Amino acid sequence: MRHFLPLFILVVMSSCAQSNYAKLEPIYEKQQLGELPDYSNLNYWSAHPDKKSPSDSVPAALSKNYRPVQLVDVFYIHPTTYLDSTKPYGMNASFKDIKTNISTDYTAVLNQASIFNEVGRIYAPRYRQAHIKSYSPVDQKDTVIAIAAFELAYQDVKAAFTYYMAHENKGRPIIIASHSQGSTHAIRLLKEFFDNQPLEKKLVAAYVVGMAIDPSTYVQLKACEKPNSTGCICAWRTFQEGYLPDFVVKEKFSSIVTNPISWNAKDTIVDRSLNEGAVLYNFNKITTHVVGAINHEGVLWTKKPQFLGSFLYTTKNFHIADYNFYYLSVRKNVAERVNTYLSINNNYTH
């Protein structure tokens, strides 16, 4: 799955002629007239503390020592799962799309959101996500439609977060977690609600994975420098060592990139032997030493993964496994940042 925003969409979003935005408005308004989410209804959440979901799952190898102490909240924004080539609901998914909802729950939420379940209550909204093709428009007309699709998706995410803050948060510390399209929206959510805002004090950390993040986007929010840094952003995009796709080469900035094994900005080359565990095809199995991690010019590089059957794994773009490859490392790091945050803020009750 390729969930990347081509550079020319970013250019169009910042410099599109007024006439194009005039065309965008009716497209967006027409989409808005459809089904509006009601986030007081649990059906509009893939994961929520008041319902069972795959986010509650724990790999069997970790279940013996699973002792949840959920002292913070995790607002998780899932990646693109609306992949049907026929686009049965147009350029934005429908809440009634059972196939896409199941895919969301048993791929992204299971493999990514579950990482955070030992330390946080997980809130994962369903939203009218943009179709995967929105990331690869072929002409100006398609680009305008794609922008409208992303705008509609973000407005749902924003509505979910606004509802969560008004009715669920009750002053608890927050982790923002996301991947791919979810990170497209998380970048904007962080800017609007946290950066240089009072809510920034409640941010434990943001794990905004799978998308480029221009550090100049934010006034106050910075990249996490140490494993226990708080109020900061962790981000990475994983590729095979030596490979840089064209869209990365064309980027006009060096993206935030965090090493998801060392978690230290000064320790940028880490061998696979120090990676304690990945979750691959079998969610219940932890596989050690699958990949290493090398910070390189705004991306994360690793040598070819090593696991049973990996000789069949020919791609050099490991986007789909950004979290899976570092599952146990991320899980432990989240706990460390939460402990640090609660200790600093005199709320540590272990």
3-state secondary structure of 328: helix
Per residue in 250-265, pLDDT tens? 999 999 999 999 999 9
Q: What is the pLDDT of residue 206?
A: 98
d(CA 85, CA 93): 12
Q: What is the pLDDT of residue 7?
A: 31
Confidence of residue 318 (pLDDT cuts 50, 70, 90): very high
Helix residue ranges per DSSP H, 33-76: 60-63
Q: What is the pLDDT of residue 4?
A: 33
pLDDT at 26 over 90: no
pLDDT at 69 over 80: yes
- Read off the pTM: 0.91
Mean pLDDT of 214-241: 98
pLDDT at 222 over 90: yes
- DSSP string for 123-179: EEE---PBPGGGGS--SHHHHHHHHHHHHHHHHHHHHHHHHHIIIIITT--EEEEEE
Confidence of residue 31 (pLDDT cuts 50, 70, 90): low
Give the pair of three-digit tokens for residue 338.
Answer: 């939460």
pLDDT at 72 over 90: yes
214 backbone φψ class: left, alpha, beta (φ>0; ψ -120 to 50) = beta
Beta bridge partners of 240: 302
Q: What is the pLDDT of residue 313?
A: 86
Per residue in 122-135, pLDDT tens? 999 999 999 999 99
Q: What is the average pLDDT value for the chain, to the nearest integer? A: 90
Strand 299-302 relative to strand 293-296, pairing: antiparallel
Least confident piece of the model among 29-38, 80-89, 239-248, 267-276: 29-38
Question: 131 and 88 in contact (C-beta within 8 Å)?
Answer: no
Domain ranges of the chain: 7-344
pLDDT at 347 over 70: no
Beta bridge partners of 287: 278
H or E element: which one contains 102?
A: helix 98-103
pLDDT at 219 over 60: yes
Question: Residues 104-122, buried b or exposed e (16+ Cβ, 10 A)?
Answer: bbebbbbbbbbbbbbbbbb
d(CA 259, CA 294): 7
Can you give the C-alpha Rg of the chain in angstroms?
19
Helices (H) and strands (E) in the chain, counts: 9, 10
pLDDT at 349 over 60: no
Q: What is the pLDDT of residue 341?
A: 98
Question: CB count, 10 Å around CB of 319?
Answer: 20
| Closest among 201, 171, 203 to 186, alpha carbons compared | 203
Mean pLDDT of 215-241: 98
